Structure 1
Amino acid sequence: MDDELRDRVEREAEKHALLNAVKHQSDADVGAIMGPLMGDNPAFRPHGDEIPGVAGGVVSQVNDLSYEAKRERLEELAPEELAEIEAEDDGDDHDLPDLPNADNYDEIRMRCAPNPNGPWHVGHARMPAVIGTYRDRYDGWFCVRFDDTDPETKRPDLEAYDDILEDLTYLGFEPDAVYRASDRLETYYDHARELIELGGAYTCSCSGDEFSELKNAGEPCPHRDKDTETVLEEFEAMVDGEYSSGEMVLRVKTDIEHKNPALRDWVSFRMIDTPHPREEASEYRCWPMLDFQSGVDDHLIGMTHIIRGIDLQDSAKRQQFVYDYFGWEYPEVVHWGHVQVDAYDVKMSTSTIGELIADGELDGWDDPRAPTLQSLRRRGIQGEAIVEAMVGLGTSTSDVDLAMSTVYAKNRDLIDDESDRRFFVREGTELPLGGSPPAEATPALHPDHEDRGVREIPVGDTVLLEPEDLPGREERVWLKGLGCFQYTRDALQYTGEDIDVVREGDVDVVHWVPAEESVPVRMRTMDGDVTGRAEPGVGDLEADELVQFERIGFVRIDGENGDEVLTYFAHP
C-alpha cells in the first residue's frame, strides 16, 4: 500500500469511526466500520488484507477522544452525515428506514420464506426481526412461507417446520399465516400451463452442458420454437412423472442474448426422482425452481415488500420476466448485505451444523457451541435482545458485522434487574475457618433490591475459594456476606473487622461457598463444561430461572443432571 492510498484509507476510516462512535455514543468498533468503509470505497478492496490494520490504528485514536471532541471532528469531516444521525435521534427512534413507497399501499404485506432444512442459526434471526418490526410499525401483515420445493439438494427436515415456528415465537413474533410451498404444487402447475399458452415457456431436453454452451454463446435452444400444443403435452408428461431426473425441464423464454447470461431462458421446473419427505408431497416428481415458485407466491399472497440479500438481485430480474408475461406488478424490493456474526468457531451454516451434530462433535442444535437460536434460548438469551441487535444493523446493502457482545449487552439490560445473585466456585480450594465467625452468611439476593431480602447460607467449618482468590500468608480477605478473614496458620481466621477495611481499599472481596453444604454444579459454556460447587440454595431453583453467579456471569438453570445442578452460561 503506497503512502497516498494509506492517507485515503486513514481519512475514510476516521470518518466511519466517528460516524460509528457518535451514532451509538460509544467507542468505535473496527469490525462495525469495515463493511461501510469497504462498501463506500471499492478501490480499497484489492488491499483488503491491509485495510483492517490501518483502520485499527485510526479507531484507537478516535476512541481516545471525548464524545464532544468526536462530534466536533465529525462536524468538520462530514456535517451532512452528522445532521442525519442527529435527525434520527430527534425522530421516531427507528433503527430501520421507512419502507419504500409504503404510503402507496393500504396494507404492508411481507413474508419470511425459510428453507426448512434445519432449525435457524443466529444469522437467520435478522429476517424475522426486521420483518416483524416493520409489521408492528405499519400495523401490517406477514407470513411464514416454507420454500420447500427442493426435496433433493436442500432436502427439508420434517422437524424443522415446527422448530422454525418455535424460533419465531422465541423472537417474539407470531405470523399472520403459514404456508408450505409443497402444498401448492397444483397452483404452480396451473400458472406454468398459462405461461406456456402465453408463449412464455418451453420444454427442453438439452443436457446441462449442451444448454450452457448455447446460452453462453447467446444462441437459442433448438427446442425454443416448439408449438404450444407440444410444449403443453410434454409439460403434462413431466407432471405425470414420465421423465426421469435430467431428462426434461421447462424454461422461461426470456432474451437469449441478454447481457447477463444468468437471465437467459432460465429453468422454471425440473424432474426430481427423490421423493419429498412430507407424505402429502411424496408422489410429485415435477418440481418448480425457487424463482418461479417464490415469484408466483409473492403475487398470489399479495406481498407488497420483499427483503432479500443483495446477492439475489438476479432473482428479481428473472421473476420480472414472469410478471411481465402475466401483467403483474412486482413488489417493492429492499436488498441488504450479509450479516457476519463473531464469537463462534462453527460456520454459520445449517448443513454444517447438522453434519457436526451427526458426527457427534456437537451434542445437538442447542449445544452452547452451536450458533443457533435454540442454543441461545437454552443459555438464557432473551429473544428480544437478539431482535434489538438485529434491527440495529439496519438494512444496508453493505455486509454488516454483529458482535455477540451487543446481544449480550442488550440481554444484560433485560435480565439484570430480575436475576438474583448466587455464589459458584470453580475448582475450589478448601480452607478451614477459625476465630468463631458467624454461623450463617446473609448476602443480598440482589444488591439493588433490598426488599427481596437475603440468602441464608450456613457457614460450617470449611469454605471453598477459587484458587485465584486465595490470599497470601497473613493477608486479609473479605468473604462476601460473611466478613473479614486473615489467612494464617493454614486457615482463614475471622477478624471481626467491619466493611471499612474494604472501603479503604486494603481488602479484596471474594465469593465463596461452604464446603459441606454446597451443591455440585455443571455449567455448560461455549468453551466446554465447567464444574464446581454453588451455595446450597441453588439446588432449590427451578428450571428456566435466570441468576447471576457473582463475579462470573449470568446463567440459566436447566435442571437436575444426576447429582448435579445443570446450568447454561449466558454471558458475563
Structure 2
Amino acid sequence: MDDDLRERVEREAEKHALLNAVKHESDADVGAIMGPLMGENPAFREHGDEIPGVVGGVVGRVNDLAYAEKRERLEELAPEELAEIEAEDEGDEHDLPDLPRAEEHDEIRMRCAPNPNGPWHVGHARMPAVIGTYKDRYDGWFCVRFDDTDPETKRPDLEAYDAILEDLEYLGFEPDATYRASDRLETYYDHARKLIDMGGAYTCSCSGEEFSELKNDGNACPHREKDAETVLEEFEDMIAGVYDSGEMVLRVKTDIEHKNPALRDWVAFRMIDTPHPREEASGYRCWPMLDFQSAIDDHLIGITHIIRGIDLQDSAKRQGFLYDYFGWEYPEVVHWGHVQIDAYDVTMSTSTIAELIENGELDGWDDPRAPTLKSLRRRGIRGEAIVDAMTGLGTSTSDVDLAMSTIYANNRELIDEETDRRFLVRDGTEVPLGGSPPDEANPPLHPNHEDRGVRGIPAGDAVLLEPADLPDREGRIWLKGLGCFRYTRDALQYTGEDLDVVREGEVDVVHWVPAAESVPVRMRTMDGDVSGRAEPGVADLAADEMVQFERVGFARIDTPSGEADGSEAVLAYYAHP
C-alpha cells in the first residue's frame, strides 16, 4: 500500500470510527466500520488484506479520545453525518412510519402475497420484514397468501411453497394463517356470478388487439350490453372449460371513457390451457386475474392495510370498482418505491436465477453467488440483520438503494462478540523458521473475551504466509501469537523482540499457519471458491459454527473435514469482512 492510499484509508477510517463511536456513545469497533468503509470506497477492496491493519491503528487512536473530543472531531470531518445522527436521536424510535388510520381498526391485519415460482431473492425480504415488524408493533395479524392463479406465465414451483415459508421463518416471522389462492377458485367464481347478476361484468370474445383499439379510443366493446343471463351462461361455459385459451374472457364493467385506459373494463377471468402443477387445482381452466382474486381475498380475509409497489397504483384503482359494486370499504394502502441492491452480478429475478441454476451456472438457490435468502442463510448471515436493513429503508415512494454492506454491518454486530477467531492462509507461501522461536503460539480465541482461553497452534519448522504478507529482504514481521521475525536467507529468523516493535508501528502483524499441521479449507465466496489452509483447530469445528478468519472475514462452517465432497478439506461459506 503506497503512502497516498494509506493516507486516504486513514482519513476515511477516522470518519467511520468517529461515526460509530459517537452514534453508540462507546468505543469504535473495527468490525462494525469495515462494511460501511469498504462499501463507500470500492477502490479499497483490492487491498482488503491490508486495510484492517491500517483501520485498527486509527480505531485505537479514536478510542483514546474522550466522547466530547470525538464529537468535536467528527463535527470537523463530517458535520452533515453528525447532524443526521443527532436528528435520529431526537426522532421517532421507529424507522417505519405509523400505519395510516391504524387507530380506527380493532386489529391491524396484513398479508404477504408471494408468487410461489421460486424461493425468495434478497429484495423479496422487504415485504415480510416490514409487515412482520408492523404486526409486532401493533400486536396485529398477518397471513401468507400464495397468489398462484397463473399456471402459465408465472407457473408455480411446487417446492417453492415450503421454501418461502422457510425463508419467512429464517427472517424471524411466523404467519398467523396460510392460504393458497389456487384452493379458492370456487370462492372467486361465486363472486363473479354475483357481479354478473349486478350487471357489473360481461363476457368478451374480442381479440386482445381488437379490444385494445376500442379501449384506447374510448369505445365500448360490442359485447358490453349482453344481458346478465347470457353472460352467466357463457361464464359457466368458461368454468366448464368449453373455450380455449384466448377465446373468451370475463371483464369488469368500469368506465369506458375513464381518463386512464388501463382502468377501462379490465379482465377478471381468462382461459388457460396449461394445467396447474398442483394436483388439487389441475382440473381448472378458468382462472382469475390477480386484481380480481386479490381484491376478493383481501376483503374476505379482513385485510386492513396493504403495502405494495408504487408501480401497482392502478391495481388499487381497478379493485376499487369491485369494492364499489359489492359495497365494501377498501383497505388502507401504503405504496413504496423499488429497492435496488448492490454487490450482485446476477439479476434480482426469480426466473433469471432459476434459469442460471437449470443451465448449471449456479449450483442451486443457496449458491453464494445467488442473490437469495437461502444463499445468505448458508453464508451465516442472520435473518435479523436483513430485517433491520429492510425496515431501515422506511416506506418512501421513491426508489431506494440498499448496500449489502449494511446487512453485513448489522450481522457483524450480531455475531462479532460470540464468534471465535482462527487463522486461514490463502494461496500460502511456505517459509522456513529459524532462530529457535517458541514451539507453539497461543493467540486468544477472542480478543475481547480472555475467559474463553487460547488456542494452541504448533509452529513447526515452517509456516505458510499469504504472499502479500511476506516482507522485503531483511524486513521484519510479527507472526501473531508467535513473535517477531526477520526475513533473511530465505527464512524467517526469530529475533526475540517484544511487542513494543508493533506498538511503535515498526512491524506489521500478520496471520500464519504451520506448514505441516495446517488443515485444507475450501471456502465458497461470491467471487468463486477459494482454497487455503487453516490452523489445526479448524478441523474440530462443527457444522453451522461461525468463525472469523483473522484479516479475512467471517465464515460459516458448512461441512467439517470436507464431508460434502469426500475430500479432507473443511468446507466453509464466506459471509462478509
Per the normalisation by structure 1, the TM-score is 0.86
- Structure 1 distance, partners of 2:509, 2:78, is 39
Q: 2:466 maps to which residue?
A: 466
1:118 aligned counterpart, secondary structure: coil
Matching residue of 2:174: 174
Q: Map 1:304-383 to 2 at 5 A.
A: 304-383=304-383
Structure 1 residues 73 and 489, CA, compared in 2 at 3 Å: closer, same or farther? closer
Give CA-to-partner distance per residue, 1:239-292, whole Å, 9 cap, x none. Answer: 111111011100000000100000000000000000000000000000000000
1:430-441 equivalent positions in 2, closer than 5 A: 430-441=430-441
1:67 Cα offset (Å): 4.9
> How far apart, in 2, do the equivalents of 1:74 and 1:390 lie?
21
RMSD over aligned CA atoms reads 2.2
Q: Which position in structure 1 is the counterpart of 2:505?
A: 505
1:398 alignment partner, SS class: coil
Q: Which residue of 2 aligns with 1:566?
A: 571
C-alpha separation between the residues in 2 aligned to 1:448 and 1:127?
Answer: 37
Quote how far apart the aligned CAs of 1:436 are. 1.6
Q: Is the 8 A contact 1:88 1:94 kept in 2?
A: no
- 1:204-215 matches, within 5 Å, as 204-215=204-215
Q: Within 5 A, what are the aligned runs for 1:474-513? A: 474-513=474-513
In 2, Cα distance between equivalents of 1:74 and 1:158: 48
Matches within 5 A, 1:148-227: 148-227=148-227
* Distance (Å, rounded) in 2 between the aligned partners of 1:489 and 1:400: 56
2:524 is matched with 524
1:419 corresponds to 2:424: no
Distance 1:478 1:347, change over 3 A: same
- Amino acid of the residue matched to residue 570 of structure 1? A
Greater CA drift, 548-557 or 90-99: 90-99
Structure 1's 73 and 167: CA in aligned 2 closer, same or farther, altered over 3 A? closer
Given that residues 151 and 275 in structure 1 are in contact (C-alpha distance below 8 angstroms), is that contact kept between their aligned partners in structure 2?
yes
1:190-269 matches, within 5 Å, as 190-269=190-269
Aligned twin of 1:59: none
Q: Tell me how far apart the structure 2 counterparts of residues 269 and 553 of structure 1 sit (CA, whole Å).
A: 53
Alpha-carbon separation, structure 2, partners of 1:336 and 1:192: 30
1:289 corresponds in structure 2 to 289
| 1:106 and 2:106 matched | yes
Alpha-carbon distance change, 470 to 74 in structure 1, aligned in 2, over 3 angstroms? closer
After TM superposition, the structure 1 stretch with the greater mean CA deviation from structure 2, 66-75 or 88-97, is 66-75
Q: Aligned-pair distance for 1:90?
A: 3.2
Instruction: State the shift of 1:408 in Å.
Output: 0.6
User: What SS does the corresponding residue of 1:234 show, helix, strand or coil?
Assistant: helix
> How many pairs does the alignment contain?
511
What's the secondary structure of 1:313's corresponding residue?
helix
Structure 1 72/348 Cα, relative in aligned 2: closer, same or farther at 3 Å?
closer
CA distance in 1 between counterparts of 2:263 and 2:150 reads 21
CA distance in 2, matches of 1:261, 1:564: 62
Deviation at 1:434, TM superposition (A): 1.2
Instruction: Report how far residue 72 of structure 1 moved.
Output: 7.4
Report the Cα offset of residue 89 of structure 1. Answer: 2.9
Given that 1:522 and 1:530 are in contact with CA atoms closer than 8 Å, whether structure 2 keeps it comes out as yes
Encode CA deviations 1:132-178: one digit per residue, 9 max, x unaligned: 00000000000000000000000000000011000001101011110
Letter in 2 for 1:547: V
Runs of 4+ in 1 over 4 A off after TM superposition: 24-29, 69-75, 84-88
The answer on whether the counterparts of 2:430 and 2:464 sit within 8 Å (CA) in structure 1 is yes
Distance 1:304 1:91 in 2: 27
Question: Deviation digits for residues 341-365 of structure 1, max 9, x if unmatched?
Answer: 0011111100011111111111111
Q: Judge conservation of contact 1:308–1:336 (CA < 8 Å) in 2.
A: yes
CA distance in 1, matches of 2:93, 2:412: 21
For residues 508-547 of structure 1, give each alpha carbon's deviation from its aligned partner in whole angstroms, at most 9, with x where no partner exists.
Answer: 1110000110000011111111101000111110111111
Structure 2 unaligned residues grouped into runs of 5+? 1-18, 24-32, 41-71
How many angstroms does 1:490 deviate by? 1.6
Residue 334 of structure 1, CA deviation: 0.2
Distance 1:87 1:510, change over 3 A: closer
Cα separation, 2, equivalents of 1:128 and 1:141: 12
2:27 paired residue number: none
Equivalent-residue separation in structure 2 for 1:74 and 1:533 (angstroms): 41
Following the alignment from structure 1 to structure 2, what is the Cα–Cα distance between the partners of residues 229 and 508?
87
Aligned-pair CA distance for 1:463:
0.7
Out of 174-183 and 465-474, give the one that drifted further: 465-474
CA contact (8 A) 2:305 2:333 kept: yes
**What's 2:270 paired with?**
270
Closer, same or farther: CA 85–146 of 1 in aligned 2, 3 Å: same
CA distance in 2, matches of 1:300, 1:538: 55
CA contact (8 A) 2:320 2:330 kept: yes
Which residue is 1:3 aligned to? none
Q: Deviation of residue 69 (structure 1)?
A: 6.3
Q: Distance in 1 between matches of 2:147 and 2:495?
A: 69
Q: For 2:472 and 2:36, locate their aligned partners in 1 and report how far apart those are by CA, in whole Å.
A: 40
Residue identity matched to 2:334:
V
Unaligned runs of 5+ in 1: 1-20, 33-64, 76-81
Does the CA-based 8 Å contact 2:202-2:224 persist in structure 1?
Answer: yes
SS at match of 1:468: helix
| CA distance, structure 2, for counterparts of residue 275 and residue 400 of structure 1 | 38
* Structure 2 match to 1:61: none
Distance 1:474 1:251 in 2: 84
Matched residue of 1:352: which SS?
helix
**What CA distance in whole angstroms lies between the structure 2 residues aligned with 1:417 and 1:411?**
11
Q: Distance in 1 between matches of 2:207 and 2:362?
A: 41
Q: Distance in 2 between matches of 1:197 and 1:90?
A: 57
2:536 maps to what in 1?
Answer: 536
TM-score (norm 2): 0.86
Q: Secondary structure at the match of 2:516?
A: coil
Q: 1:66 to 1:234 in 2, by over 3 A?
A: farther
Take 2:151 and 2:270, find their aligned partners in 1: how far apart are those partners? 12
CA distance in 2, matches of 1:403, 1:131: 21
- Give the distance between the partners of 1:442 and 1:534, measured in 2 at CA: 15
1:35-77 CA distance string (max 9 Å, x none): xxxxxxxxxxxxxxxxxxxxxxxxxxxxxx96546997799xx
C-alpha separation in 2, matches of 1:226 and 1:204 = 10
Aligned to 2:556: 556
Matched-pair contact (CA < 8 Å) for 1:272–1:286: yes
